Amino acid sequence: MCGIVGYIGKKNALQIILDGLQRLEYRGYDSAGVSIINDNKELITYKKKGKVSELAENIDINLFAGSVGIGHTRWATHGVPNDVNAHPQFDMDEKIALVHNGIIENYKTLKTMLQNEGYVFRSDTDTEVLTNLINYHYKSKKDLETAVRFALNEVDGTYGIACISSFEPDKIIAARKGSPLMLGIGIEEIIIGSDASAIINHTKNVIYLEDGEMCVLTKHGFQLKTIKDEDIFREIEEIEFDLQEIEKSGYDHFMLKEICEQPETIQNTYRGRINFETGVVKLGGLESIKDKIVNAKRIIITACGTSWHAGLIGEYLIEQMCRIPVEVDYASEFRYRDPVINEGDIMVVISQSGETADTLAALREAKKKGAVTVGLVNVVGSTIAREVDAGTYIHAGPEIGVASSKAFTSQVMSLILLALMIAGEKKTLSDDELKRIANDLKTLPEKIKKCVEAKDDYKFIADELKSASNFLYLGRGLNFPVALEGALKLKEISYIHAEGYPAAEMKHGPIALIDENMPVVIIAPKDKTYDKIISNIEEVKARKGKILAIASEEDNNINDYADFVIRVPKTFNLFAPIINNIPLQFLAYYIATARGCNVDQPRNLAKSVTVE
Ligand code: G6P
């Protein structure tokens, strides 16, 4: 949610900032801007409604020569996306430029105070209030760092900020509370980024800012402090991924690349964590609290969006395999309903980004109430990963496409590993069962590969169905969350209305919508619910609905019922959500591209939602 880049060093800042913004664009893309301290030590800014590419095409490179600067790509919270509301925002005197990710909650009170002092505002943003507040303090303190510190101590809400000023042209001040920010420490240069993708092609050495911290950067180095002015020492850490992992590598879209990567990413999730001879799972990150997890009286899973769907699958898996009661909560609801947390409760927090504000707030609430917390997170070093009591990274690698794909299957895989770990310890699965599961897991990447290789078949079906205005997705048991996720994917990237339902619930409402224009995607595995699913298909056909069935390879019957059939390799029940999800990702992708939608940057969405 909003991307921030800053550069201070010896090189031309503009190009580095524009490149960084391009890589961070998945965080928001309604407007973008840069401010540079030029070689005459003047503060100059260019900002624009629209994408980073439009900013880059229109900016006068010669005018923007300088080696100190900041940039921003925005996902609007306060004020419509337009040139004026784009960041950087300035103070009234246009001496201070600031980029901000987050929300200043008390901006109205501060704005009134500043207006009473004679400050005039141009934009509708909360950020402009912060710039004028810094200006206000600068007038008495005559020191930028102190002015920023005083201002930050007066704001409520969340921020990741970077600020430059012609008052003190050789520095950048950065700070964070609730919105991620990191520093890439290069040789005689420092790059600021909302995440590592803006930094990785310059250096792998990074420092993560923690909440309540600020940093003064100059060409000679940096000084880390709290916003209460206490010095901090922090070790430099190394980023684990490479540049090529965040590039498209010849694919039309990041999303397509990420869908196709799943035979490998799924292996990265379980590699070194399962003994294939015995089926015993060891999750190093959870060792310190393993006993607490195994003896949990209840497990609460919390997450948002796609991660919440993975959580629903986790509920089925853990209850079936470990016999521990599980509840799954939307993170945004959990925090506000005064949840009951008892001794022995474990909270599992699932998040791709590790920065989702609602999920983070739910985690903090659960910790406050005494729950032991476990993180299943993708982004290494993210806030959630650092705040949980223990965690296991899902290792899906950087996910750039805004609609989650490979992170979902790796989240499900991580939940399977968690369930296997508990079941092995609790003996709720026999040694034989564990071995058989491990054996089947060995074949999973190959089966996913087969699904990926069938992508042209999915494209054909997508072309047939692309004009529909509504879709229904149905599944039962473990495949019900898969139906929800399939529907969400289609909605997110093609803007077609789609709903996911447990198949048997169709007759309690959605059936009223079915007519010849309504495709129904139904997950129809050959398991104990198969006959029931066939009855659901008959109910749809009786109302002239079109059926697309996701069916097992060995199902010879399904063609008699369905208009379109996608066949997936046979697998153990617990791996079915992973296998069945892959064609649904492709279906959404191909329908969206056929409709001319920008799948990597769907309208109104952002990859990392750092506001509540
Ligand atoms: C946003 C993204 C979704 C994601 C959700 C939760 O809405 O667009 O793809 O599932 O946030 O994000 P998280 O990073 O916590 O998994």
Of 27, 330, 353, 379, which is best to mutate to test ligand 1, by the most ligand atoms within 8 angstroms of its C-beta? Answer: 353
* Separation between Cα atoms, residue 79 and residue 393, nearest integer Å: 36
Q: Is the CB of 607 under 6 A from ligand 1?
A: yes
**For position 301, what pLDDT does the model report?**
98
Q: What is the CA radius of gyration of the chain?
A: 25
Q: Which amino acid is at 553?
A: E
Q: Domain for residue 612, yes or no?
A: no
When pLDDT is cut at 50, 70 and 90, the band that residue 512 belongs to is confident
Structure tokens belonging to residue 441: 């897991």
Q: Is the CB of 351 under 6 A from ligand 1?
A: yes
3-class secondary structure, 526: coil
- With a CB cutoff of 8 Å and minimum separation 6, the contacts of 123 are 79, 84, 85, 89
pLDDT in tens, 203-252: 999 999 999 999 999 999 999 999 999 999 999 999 887 777 778 888 99
DSSP string, 285-335: GGGGGHHHHHT-SEEEEEE-HHHHHHHHHHHHHHHHHH---EEEEEHHHHG
Q: Is the CB of 304 under 6 A from ligand 1?
A: yes
Q: How far is the CA of 352 from the centre of ligand 1 (A)?
A: 7
For residues 176 and 62, membership in a common domain is answered with yes
* Residue owning the nearest CA to atom 3 of ligand 1: 305
**For position 178, what pLDDT does the model report?**
85
Q: Is the CB of 605 under 6 A from ligand 1?
A: yes
For residues 136 and 162, membership in a common domain is answered with yes
Task: Give the active site residue among 47, 51, 489, 607.
Answer: 607
pLDDT in tens, 310-329: 999 999 999 999 999 999 99
* Separation between Cα atoms, residue 590 and residue 463, nearest integer Å: 8
- The whole-number average pLDDT for the span 63-86 is 90
For residues 133 and 29, membership in a common domain is answered with yes
For residue 611, pLDDT beyond 80: no
For residues 437 and 458, membership in a common domain is answered with no
* Separation between Cα atoms, residue 337 and residue 356, nearest integer Å: 19
Q: Domain for residue 610, yes or no?
A: no
Average pLDDT along the chain: 94
Establish whether 607 is a catalytic residue: yes
* Separation between Cα atoms, residue 212 and residue 177, nearest integer Å: 5
- The whole-number average pLDDT for the span 405-419 is 98
**For position 28, what pLDDT does the model report?**
79
Q: Could you tell me what percent of the chain has a pLDDT over 90?
A: 84
**For position 160, what pLDDT does the model report?**
95
Q: What is the dihedral of CA 258, 497, 478, 393, to 10 degrees?
A: 30
For residues 423 and 498, membership in a common domain is answered with no
Domain that holds residue 336: 254-447
Q: Is the CB of 609 under 6 A from ligand 1?
A: yes
For residues 157 and 277, membership in a common domain is answered with no
Report yes or no: 402 and 254 within 8 Å, Cβ to Cβ: no
Domain end, chosen from 194, 221, 244, is at: 244
* Closest C-alpha among 175, 30, 182 to residue 102: 175
For 526-554, give one letter per residue: b (16+ CB within 10 A) or e. eeebbeebbebbebbbeeebbbbbbbbee
Q: Which helix (H) or strand (E) holds 237?
A: strand 237-238
Domain end, chosen from 447, 468, 489, is at: 447
Q: Is the CB of 31 under 6 A from ligand 1?
A: no
* Bond prior to 88 in cis (omega within 30° of 0): yes
Structure tokens belonging to residue 135: 């200006």
Structure tokens belonging to residue 293: 């997890």
Q: Is the CB of 331 under 6 A from ligand 1?
A: no
Q: How far is the CA of 361 from the centre of ligand 1 (A)?
A: 15
Structure tokens belonging to residue 606: 């952002």
- With a CB cutoff of 8 Å and minimum separation 6, the contacts of 416 are 317, 574, 575
We report the CATH number of the domain holding residue 404 as 3.40.50.10490
Backbone angles phi, psi at 518, to 5 degrees: -110, 105
Q: Is the CB of 330 under 6 A from ligand 1?
A: no
Strand partners, 453: none
* Residue owning the nearest CA to atom 2 of ligand 1: 607
Q: How far is the CA of 42 from the centre of ligand 1 (A)?
A: 40
Q: How many domains does the chain have?
A: 3
Chain length of the chain: 612
pLDDT in tens, 451-509: 999 999 999 999 999 999 999 999 999 999 999 999 999 999 999 999 999 998 888 88
- The whole-number average pLDDT for the span 54-58 is 94
Q: How far is the CA of 327 from the centre of ligand 1 (A)?
A: 20
* Separation between Cα atoms, residue 405 and residue 587, nearest integer Å: 12
* Residue owning the nearest CA to atom 15 of ligand 1: 351
Q: Is the CB of 332 under 6 A from ligand 1?
A: no
Q: How far is the CA of 490 from the centre of ligand 1 (A)?
A: 15
Q: Which amino acid is at 461?
A: I
Write a three-state SS string for 534-557.
HHHHHHHHHCCCEEEEEEECCCCC
Q: How far is the CA of 303 from the centre of ligand 1 (A)?
A: 9
Q: Is the CB of 382 under 6 A from ligand 1?
A: no
Dump strand ranges (E) for 464-611. Answer: 470-475, 497-502, 519-524, 546-552, 564-568
pTM above 0.75, yes or no: yes
Q: Which amino acid is at 581?
A: N
Helices (H), 323-405: 331-334, 357-368, 383-387
* Separation between Cα atoms, residue 563 and residue 385, nearest integer Å: 45
Q: Domain for residue 297, yes or no?
A: yes
- With a CB cutoff of 8 Å and minimum separation 6, the contacts of 250 are none
For residues 54 and 120, membership in a common domain is answered with yes
Q: Which helix (H) or strand (E) holds 373?
A: strand 372-377
Establish whether 2 is a catalytic residue: yes
Q: Is the CB of 401 under 6 A from ligand 1?
A: no
Q: How far is the CA of 308 from the centre of ligand 1 (A)?
A: 9
Q: Which helix (H) or strand (E) holds 136?
A: helix 126-141
* Closest C-alpha among 433, 430, 483 to residue 313: 483
For residue 381, pLDDT beyond 90: no
* Residue owning the nearest CA to atom 1 of ligand 1: 607
Of 308, 309, 352, 412, which is best to mutate to test ligand 1, by the most ligand atoms within 8 angstroms of its C-beta? Answer: 352
∠ at Cα 211 (205, 213), nearest 5°?
70
For residues 36 and 177, membership in a common domain is answered with yes
Measure Cα distances from 542 to 117, 469, 534, 607 in Å.
Answer: 71, 20, 12, 40
Q: Is the CB of 410 under 6 A from ligand 1?
A: no
CB atoms within 10 A of CB 15: 13
* Separation between Cα atoms, residue 168 and residue 222, nearest integer Å: 15
For residues 341 and 460, membership in a common domain is answered with no
For residues 497 and 376, membership in a common domain is answered with no
Domain end, chosen from 211, 244, 277, is at: 244
Strand partners, 298: 345
Q: Domain for residue 9, yes or no?
A: yes
We report the CATH number of the domain holding residue 168 as 3.60.20.10
* Separation between Cα atoms, residue 207 and residue 210, nearest integer Å: 9
For residues 437 and 550, membership in a common domain is answered with no
**For position 499, what pLDDT does the model report?**
95
Q: How far is the CA of 407 from the centre of ligand 1 (A)?
A: 10
For residues 440 and 466, membership in a common domain is answered with no
Q: Is the CB of 383 under 6 A from ligand 1?
A: no
For residue 439, pLDDT beyond 80: yes
For residue 368, pLDDT beyond 80: yes
Write a three-state SS string for 139-160.
HHHCCHHHHHHHHHCCCCECEE
Q: How far is the CA of 608 from the centre of ligand 1 (A)?
A: 6
For residue 417, pLDDT beyond 90: yes
For residue 397, pLDDT beyond 80: yes
- With a CB cutoff of 8 Å and minimum separation 6, the contacts of 488 are 305, 306, 309, 498, 500
Helices (H), 466-521: 479-494
Structure tokens belonging to residue 45: 């800014």
Structure tokens belonging to residue 478: 């473990």
pLDDT in tens, 268-314: 999 999 999 999 999 999 999 999 999 999 999 999 999 999 999 99
Of 75, 607, 610, 612, which is best to mutate to test ligand 1, by the most ligand atoms within 8 angstroms of its C-beta? Answer: 607
Q: How does DSSP classify residue 352? A: S
Q: Domain for residue 540, yes or no?
A: yes
Q: Domain for residue 607, yes or no?
A: no
* Separation between Cα atoms, residue 179 and residue 355, nearest integer Å: 7
Q: Domain for residue 605, yes or no?
A: no
Q: Domain for residue 611, yes or no?
A: no
Task: Give the active site residue among 2, 163, 260, 597.
Answer: 2
**For position 29, what pLDDT does the model report?**
80
Report the range of poorest mean pLDDT among 28-32, 115-119, 192-196, 458-462. Answer: 28-32
When pLDDT is cut at 50, 70 and 90, the band that residue 510 belongs to is confident
